[in-house]
Chains A and B, each alone.
Chain A
Amino acid sequence: MAMAIKLSLLLLVLSCSLIPTFSLFEDQVGFMDWHQRYIGKVKDAVFHTQKAGRKRVVVSTEENVIASLDLRRGEIFWRHVLGATDVIDKIDIALGKYVITLSSEGSILRAWNLPDGQMVWESFLSGSKSSKALLTIPANLKVDLDSPIFVYGGTCLYAISSIDGEILWKKDFINEGMDVHQLILSEGSNVIHAVGVSDSSEFNTYEIDVKNGGVLKHVRKPFPGGIYGDILSISSDKFVALDATRSTVLLISITDGQINLQQTHVSDLIHGVSLNPIILPSKLSGIFSLTTDTFIAFIKVTHEGKLNVMEKVDKTVVVSDALALSEGEQAFALVQHGDSKIHLSVRLVHDMSSNHLKETVKMDHERGFVHKIFINNYVRTDRSHGFRALIVMEDHSLLLLQQGEIVWSRDDGLASVIDVTTSELPLEKVGVSVAKVEDSLFEWLKGHMLKLKGTLMLATPDEIAIIQKIKLQSSEKSKMTRDHNGFRRLLIVLTKSRKLFALHSGDGHIVWSTLLQSLRQSTECPNPTALKLHPWQIPHHHALDKNPSVLVVGRCGLSLSSPSTLSIVDAYTGKEARNAGPGHSTVQVIPLPFSDSSEQQLHLLIDDGNRAHLYPRSREAVEIFQRESQNVYWYDVEAEVGILRGYGVKRRCDGDEYCFEARNLWSVVFPSESEKIISTVSRKGNEVVHTQAKVIAEEDVMYKYISKNILFVATVSPKASGPIGSATPDESLLVVHLVDTITGRILHRMSHLGSQGPVHAVLSENWVVYHYFNLRAHRYEMSVIEIYDQSRAENKDVLKLIVGKHNLTTPVSSYSRPEVSTKSQSYFFTHSVKAISVTSTAKGITSKHLLIGTIADQVLALDKRFVDPRRSLNPTQAEKEEGLLPLTDTLPIIPQSYVTHAFKVEGLRGIETIPAKLESTTLVFAYGVDLFFTRLAPSRTYDSLTEDFNYALLLLTIVALVVAIFVTWVLSERKDLQEKWR
């Protein structure tokens, strides 16, 4: 009995040690991982500098982030990432201590505490239908000891208490059919003006009592044709708008409760032809700005209602909102882009003729044009007005300008990563100077002495700090050369800002960044978007003198049929080596497993007419392709209609030798009334599988069905394609398919009753793991399907293998009927999932871990053995030896196995794994609004010593042993001699 207990205890200990965890010690944080925090492209900014203390700017961004930044250094004080659907409409500061955000089309109002970012209150405003969102926070209006906030959203006007977010009153405009364009609160009065346009093109103003929401006065005036865009207020009683034909400027003035309309032709106003006039929404008192295709005109509205053009500036000029100065005058800023410089000028509204301030700032060419500017004033030491400007550039970066210099800058383009690839660093140059070696030798010795002290616990706290610093700043880490273990890489990321960044994997610093010329906005390419990033040239054997390069595919416009652009960028320098302007459209980019003599990878770009365009465009590439064209297949997924189609190469297009026509070889049609495609996942192209055989218990072998051409398709019943809870368990059905993409064969098809998406899946080797929601159990589930090849199952006889009677070396054809068997199992999983990925190593020997991006924006590593379909309730002794875990219904979440440990990768979108040269190690790059990089060893670093291994101690021990051997040898010799003399 005691024996049995001992044995089970031993087993427990063993099984605990078998599950490797990545838990690291506190001092190891930042040793091989880095984390960068971003906010995204700034949409709106509010300065908070009145009080003494920390000067800050509160910004809202296109990534739905609300953040408070330090105005001195640009660091983030606090930050909140709202959900992907919770778009921030307006921000402002109330009571001098709350940041107010209005989001989701004016339906959610939140207040955040300014110093620490804690949420103070939150109000849900349920409007009747979607409309504009407006937010007005009166500076010093008191209603019953409360300062109300006025919000317009969902066709309702609300007054909300700024203290606790309670709705004081509500006025619905749905019956009036009016869309409010402006909320104006004149200074010192108790009336709020709501100005808007009704459906029947009537201009309306409502005077509303701020105390109870009662309508005091309602004036309206019809005008024919309606208006284009928004009404802009010039002052409390004057408004301007463009009419629907965009040929006339309407000046609306209210005098003694009467509305007067005054029409002025745009052509009269600005003399000459002007295309597409738009009134800019910048708030300047008494002045409005009108842009056309070529210039911006500032137009002053006089008291008598006359329009005077004050100045015309170039179209590229960016104008800020007006800023109230202390003496009741207003200032605004203009930014003009020069050659690698920008010119910032601040003007006073009442005196447009001269610049109050003019500064020229040198600007990096790679930042592009200025997109937005926000200004703020401060009092200089000589009591005059100084201005600082926050500018948002084309590459989404944020800069603070003051006194003609860039005080700080943030590369917030990195908050919107689209695609990631990696590149090797250059080889280390041979021939290092002697002095450097001696110097480093001394440093090396000193470092090791310190480390030795540290390990022997003799070091003082100061020395421990130095050790830590050496560890963190080890120059090894951020060197710009290739290392033996392959830990140092260039991470090349393509962002939504159409800028390409190269990050060093050691510490995450930006090595270079390029604003892609092929994706700049132009008349040829009006709406460029970046699409895909692929490695283009990887010099390994032949063209070693060449630098590696990457291919960036972009598209001009939003539809699939719009023309696409290509550029090839040098991975070491970031120079755009070649680019091809808008040509054919691109729906799919297929890297082929062939490369030409200069090691350029062959790529097929499929256009919307199903023609394949071959790149690089060279005769050699065509020759290689034609040799292999019989074996080139591709597929496309038409998710809207539920059809998968497979294609092969048919023949050359007419007139273009790099273009090939496709023929449809197979199709799978999912019936639209019962199945809807929600997710498709294929295997990663560069994945390496070490062995096809899997040794299982009882010395048996199973052969994995390994094919690069497996596609996982998940479909749900159309009713269940909405969010969770929109369908009952009886009407929702999740069906998963494994499809061979060469022949269109369905290898396996399986349905989960009462389950629905969203489905996140990962396909690797011969298995697929997917995550979905089980409506019956009210829980998330993860299922695994493993697929095994039965046709090779007979190859178990060793004698047969020796004699050569086996089919292991015969080439596999997809046209053979596959004899496969599948195993599957489902487990409950507590979290919902944002992304799912799997570790990949250089040779594929190391066991795999699933990397799961959880809803809390962390990355969890889950051993693949937990999602093994062969787990059983009572594993036999042999199965236990194999490492099979007993079956549980839920997958365990071990807190130590969060690879992101204390960090959060806000807005997590993807997890990329890159194999290092060292087999045990894989590099993990997680991206979202934040970036996180770390190194993982799923089975521990079995093939190398840890970096902090004490070589000096080893050396010392060896020396000591050698000395001890000599001493004992001498002693024993002497004793022998004495023995003999006796």
Chain B
Amino acid sequence: MKFPKSLILLLLFTLLIVSNSSFQSDELLVDDEEFGLEGGRSPDIDVTVSSPPVISLPHSPPQPTRKRSVDSESDSRVQFALEHAFEDSDEFSAAGTFTARLKTSAHGGQILTKLRFSRNDLTATEKEKFKQLLESDDFYRIRLPSNVLNPSGKEYVISSVKARCLPKGSLDEHIIIHMEGVNILAVNYGSLGGCQYPRQLSLPSKWSFNSHTVLKYSELAPRTPSFSEDIVGGVETGVGNEEGVKPLEERSFWAKYWMYLIPLGLVVMNAVTQAMNLPEEQAAGGGGGGGAPTPQAVGAAPRGQSAAVRRR
């Protein structure tokens, strides 16, 4: 029986490719779960959290809690507290907690990803104090530890805003945290939108915070590529040539072995036509059976490629 033999051969071949690509995509899926869109390498990370459902933490001095993540050794969880003050005195009290994942990059640098923020509810006395701030058009101040790994002792980054800028229905706050590694450089605190001057007194209808948090890292200074490329490499390398610079492993299966695949394909085709020629009746069925897997094989190769690229 010649036909089943060739069919098995084809099946084996397609299986080889498919299994290869499916293995990679599996790993990619894990990747997606762990470092999703929020935790990617983009410099700005936007987290929007509505505060009310969060359970308020006890008002104890915040301790850094670092839990080892089960999945990956290089990740760990970091927690640091946002503190606020209503009066001029330097007495800050806990106002919320930031939770983030500490990610160690290949070069040994550490960055924070997947920042989450939970705001404590305002207590009755705090509400009263906030009302006083609104009436006297005074400052509402917040602070964060400058080093998230050991928040005690070191300096704090402070930010403040006129309290009247915040109320817009509920209390809208917008926190931008500028990071340098694991250090907080500065925190910019303010309302989400504008703050009209002169500031009008308006009490919020809802005494809860609507927080928006952005994590920012330094960006690289732009430089027109053609010139900078000239200096570094001494070779003119445009944008299009970037592909060529990549190491060989990055090429897809198809790109690597096309010279073997085409003869193999020809041999297979030849075998099929020969098989078709022998029994006249079986030819139509065999041709259909042999033709269908081939595009599948071709289609599988780019999928493998895309998986490889994404995995990187």
- A complexed with B: yes
Q: Is A810 an interface residue (CB 8 A)?
A: yes
Q: Is A726 an interface residue (CB 8 A)?
A: no
Q: Is A791 an interface residue (CB 8 A)?
A: yes
Against B, the Cβ 8 Å flags (1 = close, 0 = not) of A737-748 are 001000111100
Which partner residue on chain A sits nearest B181 by CB separation? A674
- Given A824-B221, A825-B224, decide whether A745 and B188 contact each other with a Cβ distance below 8 A: yes
Q: How close is A807's CB to chain B, nearest CB, in angstroms?
A: 9
- Given A669-B157, A750-B219, decide whether A674 and B180 contact each other with a Cβ distance below 8 A: yes
- Which of B139, B158, B226, B232 meets A667, CB within 8 Å? B158
Question: Contacting chain A: which of B31-39, B47-55, B159-167, B268-276?
Answer: B159-167
Question: Contacting chain A: which of B62-70, B192-200, B240-248, B284-292?
Answer: B192-200
Which partner residue on chain A sits nearest B162 by CB separation? A815
Question: By the criterion CB–CB under 8 Å, are A643 and B178 in contact?
Answer: no
Which residues from chain A contact B227 at a C-beta distance below 8 Å? 889
Question: Contacting chain B: which of A41-49, A658-666, A844-852?
Answer: A658-666
- Which of B158, B165, B188, B221 meets A665, CB within 8 Å? B158
- Which of B139, B178, B224 meets A746, CB within 8 Å? B178
* CA distance in complex: A776, B192 (Å): 41
* CA distance in complex: A690, B222 (Å): 29
- Which of A736, A753, A817 meets B192, CB within 8 Å? A817
* CA distance in complex: A140, B149 (Å): 73
Q: How close is A321's CB to chain B, nearest CB, in angstroms?
A: 55
Q: Is A668 an interface residue (CB 8 A)?
A: yes
Question: By the criterion CB–CB under 8 Å, are A674 and B186 in contact?
Answer: no
Question: By the criterion CB–CB under 8 Å, are A743 and B161 in contact?
Answer: yes
Question: By the criterion CB–CB under 8 Å, are B193 and A669 in contact?
Answer: no
Question: By the criterion CB–CB under 8 Å, are B180 and A887 in contact?
Answer: no
Which partner residue on chain A sits nearest B87 by CB separation? A663
* CA distance in complex: A776, B221 (Å): 14
Q: How close is B120's CB to chain A, nearest CB, in angstroms?
A: 22
Question: By the criterion CB–CB under 8 Å, are B232 and A776 in contact?
Answer: yes
Which residues from chain A contact B88 at a C-beta distance below 8 Å? 650, 663
Q: Is B254 an interface residue (CB 8 A)?
A: no
Sort chain A's interface into a size bin: 35 or more
Question: By the criterion CB–CB under 8 Å, are B181 and A816 in contact?
Answer: no
Q: How close is B188's CB to chain A, nearest CB, in angstroms?
A: 4
Q: Is A528 an interface residue (CB 8 A)?
A: no
Q: How close is B163's CB to chain A, nearest CB, in angstroms?
A: 10
* CA distance in complex: A115, B151 (Å): 68
- Which residues 218-232 of B sit at the A interface, judged by CB distance below 8 A? 218-224, 226-227, 230-232
- Which of A670, A750, A783, A813 meets B185, CB within 8 Å? A670
- Given A674-B180, A744-B159, A826-B221, decide whether A815 and B190 contact each other with a Cβ distance below 8 A: yes
- Given A650-B88, A735-B218, decide whether A668 and B186 contact each other with a Cβ distance below 8 A: yes
Which residues from chain B contact A811 at a C-beta distance below 8 Å? 197-198
* CA distance in complex: A815, B185 (Å): 19
Q: Is A648 an interface residue (CB 8 A)?
A: yes
* CA distance in complex: A666, B222 (Å): 30
Against A, the Cβ 8 Å flags (1 = close, 0 = not) of B135-167 are 001010100001100000001111111100100
Which residues from chain B contact A664 at a C-beta distance below 8 Å? 90, 158
Q: Is A751 an interface residue (CB 8 A)?
A: yes
Question: By the criterion CB–CB under 8 Å, are A753 and B220 in contact?
Answer: yes
Q: Is B174 an interface residue (CB 8 A)?
A: yes
- Given A745-B188, A777-B231, decide whether A630 and B194 contact each other with a Cβ distance below 8 A: no
Which residues from chain A contact B174 at a C-beta distance below 8 Å? 817
* CA distance in complex: A783, B224 (Å): 12
* CA distance in complex: A648, B139 (Å): 10
- Given A666-B159, A815-B161, decide whether A746 and B195 contact each other with a Cβ distance below 8 A: no
Q: Is B213 an interface residue (CB 8 A)?
A: no
Which residues from chain A contact B76 at a C-beta distance below 8 Å? none
Q: Is A722 an interface residue (CB 8 A)?
A: no
Question: By the criterion CB–CB under 8 Å, are B180 and A671 in contact?
Answer: yes
Q: Is B191 an interface residue (CB 8 A)?
A: yes
Which partner residue on chain B sits nearest A819 by CB separation? B194
Question: By the criterion CB–CB under 8 Å, are B196 and A810 in contact?
Answer: yes
Which partner residue on chain B sits nearest A643 by CB separation? B155
Against A, the Cβ 8 Å flags (1 = close, 0 = not) of B50-85 are 000000000000000000000000000000000000
Q: Is A435 an interface residue (CB 8 A)?
A: no
Which residues from chain A contact B165 at a C-beta distance below 8 Å? 813, 815-816
Q: Is A752 an interface residue (CB 8 A)?
A: yes
Q: Is A749 an interface residue (CB 8 A)?
A: yes
* CA distance in complex: A811, B197 (Å): 6
- Which residues 794-826 of A sit at the B interface, judged by CB distance below 8 A? 810-813, 815-817, 824-826
Question: By the criterion CB–CB under 8 Å, are A671 and B197 in contact?
Answer: no
Q: How close is B157's CB to chain A, nearest CB, in angstroms?
A: 5
Which residues from chain B contact A815 at a C-beta distance below 8 Å? 161-162, 165, 190-191, 195
Q: How close is B114's CB to chain A, nearest CB, in angstroms?
A: 22
Which partner residue on chain B sits nearest A733 by CB separation? B218
Which partner residue on chain A sits nearest B142 by CB separation? A666
- Which residues 174-189 of B sit at the A interface, judged by CB distance below 8 A? 174, 176, 178, 180-181, 183-186, 188
Which residues from chain B contact A735 at a C-beta distance below 8 Å? 180, 218
Q: Is A873 an interface residue (CB 8 A)?
A: yes
Q: Is A412 an interface residue (CB 8 A)?
A: no
Q: How close is A566's CB to chain B, nearest CB, in angstroms?
A: 29
Q: Is B216 an interface residue (CB 8 A)?
A: yes
Which residues from chain A contact B178 at a C-beta distance below 8 Å? 746, 749
* CA distance in complex: A670, B220 (Å): 18
Question: By the criterion CB–CB under 8 Å, are A667 and B191 in contact?
Answer: no
- Which of A666, A817, A826, A873 meets B193, CB within 8 Å? A817
* CA distance in complex: A650, B198 (Å): 20
- Which residues 105-158 of B sit at the A interface, judged by CB distance below 8 A? 137, 139, 141, 146-147, 155-158
- Which residues 738-783 of A sit at the B interface, judged by CB distance below 8 A? 739, 743-746, 749-753, 776-777, 783
Question: By the criterion CB–CB under 8 Å, are B137 and A669 in contact?
Answer: no
* CA distance in complex: A785, B220 (Å): 13
Question: By the criterion CB–CB under 8 Å, are B157 and A751 in contact?
Answer: no
Q: How close is A361's CB to chain B, nearest CB, in angstroms?
A: 60
Question: By the criterion CB–CB under 8 Å, are B186 and A746 in contact?
Answer: yes
Which partner residue on chain A sits nearest B190 by CB separation? A817
* CA distance in complex: A750, B43 (Å): 12
Question: By the criterion CB–CB under 8 Å, are A751 and B221 in contact?
Answer: yes
Which residues from chain A contact B223 at a C-beta distance below 8 Å? 825-826
Question: By the criterion CB–CB under 8 Å, are A668 and B157 in contact?
Answer: yes
Question: By the criterion CB–CB under 8 Å, are A889 and B188 in contact?
Answer: no
Question: By the criterion CB–CB under 8 Å, are A749 and B216 in contact?
Answer: yes
Question: By the criterion CB–CB under 8 Å, are B197 and A667 in contact?
Answer: no
* CA distance in complex: A104, B290 (Å): 89
Question: By the criterion CB–CB under 8 Å, are A746 and B188 in contact?
Answer: yes
- Given A666-B158, A815-B161, A873-B224, decide whether A743 and B139 contact each other with a Cβ distance below 8 A: no
Q: How close is B112's CB to chain A, nearest CB, in angstroms?
A: 14
Q: Is A675 an interface residue (CB 8 A)?
A: yes
Which residues from chain B contact A670 at a C-beta distance below 8 Å? 180, 185
- Which residues 407-449 of A sit at the B interface, judged by CB distance below 8 A? none
Give the one of B141, B184, B223 with max A CB within 10 A. Answer: B223
- Which residues 321-338 of A sit at the B interface, judged by CB distance below 8 A? none
Known interface pairs A735-B180, A743-B190; 17 further A-B residue pairs with C-beta atoms within 8 A, sorted by A's residue number:
A667-B155, A667-B156, A669-B185, A671-B180, A743-B161, A745-B186, A746-B186, A749-B218, A751-B219, A751-B220, A752-B221, A777-B231, A813-B197, A816-B190, A816-B195, A817-B190, A825-B223
Mind listing 9 A-B residue pairs with CB under 8 Å? A665-B141, A667-B155, A669-B184, A671-B180, A751-B220, A752-B221, A816-B195, A817-B193, A889-B224
Name A's B-contacting residues (CB within 8 A).
630, 643, 648, 650, 663-671, 674-675, 735-736, 739, 743-746, 749-753, 776-777, 783, 791, 810-813, 815-817, 824-826, 873, 887, 889
The 10 closest A-B pairs by CB, nearest first: A671-B183, A816-B194, A889-B227, A815-B195, A813-B197, A669-B146, A668-B186, A745-B188, A811-B197, A751-B218
Name B's A-contacting residues (CB within 8 A).
88, 90, 137, 139, 141, 146-147, 155-162, 165, 174, 176, 178, 180-181, 183-186, 188, 190-199, 216, 218-224, 226-227, 230-232
